[in-house]
Structure formats: C-alpha cells, structure tokens
Amino acid sequence: MTKKTSHDSDVSFIASLAELLRDNDLTELQVKRDYGENDSLNVRVSRQTQTVVQAAAAPVAAAPAAAAAPAAVEAATDPAAHPGVVPSPMVGTIYMAAEPGAAAFVAVGTTVAEGDTILIIEAMKTMNHIPAPKAGTIKRILVEDGGAVEYGAPLVIIE
C-alpha cells in the first residue's frame, strides 16, 4: 500500500518559484523534487508575456496622434479576454504557412470558415493544423511566425 504524504513546504516552495519567476522576469520555470520512491513533486510555473510593442507599432506609426490613443488602449487590453480569441491548444512553435516561402494561411482581414486552417503548431516534430473554431474575419494575429507559444496563449482574434 503506497501512501502519498503531504509536504507543507510545497506550497511555500511553489510561491517562492512564482516570486522568482516575477523578480527575474522569466517566462517559465520547471522543477522536480524527489522525496523518495514513488513520492515526488513536479512543478511548472509559467506566465504569458505580451509583445505590446509589436501590436501597437503599426497603428501608432501610420496613424495621426489623435488616433494613437485608441490603438494604445486596444493594445493594453488583454487579448485573451476577447470573446473571439482562439487559444493555443498546445505548446509548440508557430508556423503561419505550410512551408517556408508559401503564402500565410491567414492575414488580418482574411475571412475564414469554421474548420479552415489558420496556422500550424509544431509540437514534438508533429505539424498540427489549428482550425478556425468559427467562421468570421481575422481581426488580429497575436503570434509571430517561428515563435514559441504556450498552452492557452491567444493566437488570433476572429470576429
């Protein structure tokens, strides 16, 4: 009979990892503690970072100063809270096209049907086509081609 023991220090250990993540401006930390045979703690602490500069750079540079304020407010809002956001179903590398040099699956303004491939996420040497969960128009692309993505991170916004 194997009995799992609780380790009261684990809660403070995890809190310390979260603090370490924040204080050192890290995006992910993974630690495994072995307490004995069949008794271990495997912790992965991560946080999302937003590239607000990228999202706000194009509208602000091309728009007059009066129009820059709404773009800055839009960039500052959390895209993950948008009702049309498509979250990443896995951790991996983003590819916006089927192969290097090919046209991207979608661009801002592209109309997609439910089930259309919007991008590919490579995970463990497997290319996973990510389908549009609903029909609509691509309003924002929140990831870069060749960039890393975490589980649940916002990929695109479809309205």
Q: Does domain 82-158 have CATH number 3.40.640.10?
A: no
pLDDT in tens, 88-126: 999 999 999 999 889 999 999 999 999 999 999 999 889
pLDDT at 81 over 60: yes
Higher pLDDT, 6 or 159: 159
Biggest CA-to-CA distance, the chain: 71
Q: In whole numbers, what is the pLDDT of the chain averaged over residues?
A: 77
Residues 47-74: pLDDT tens digits? 665 444 444 444 444 444 444 445 444 4
Distance CA 57, CA 74 (A): 12
Six-digit token string for 29? 């930390």
pLDDT at 122: 93
Neighbours of 61 (CB within 10 A): 9
Q: Where are the domains of the chain?
A: 10-46, 49-77, 82-158
Cα 121 to Cα 21, 86, 92, 103, distances in angstroms? 26, 13, 6, 16
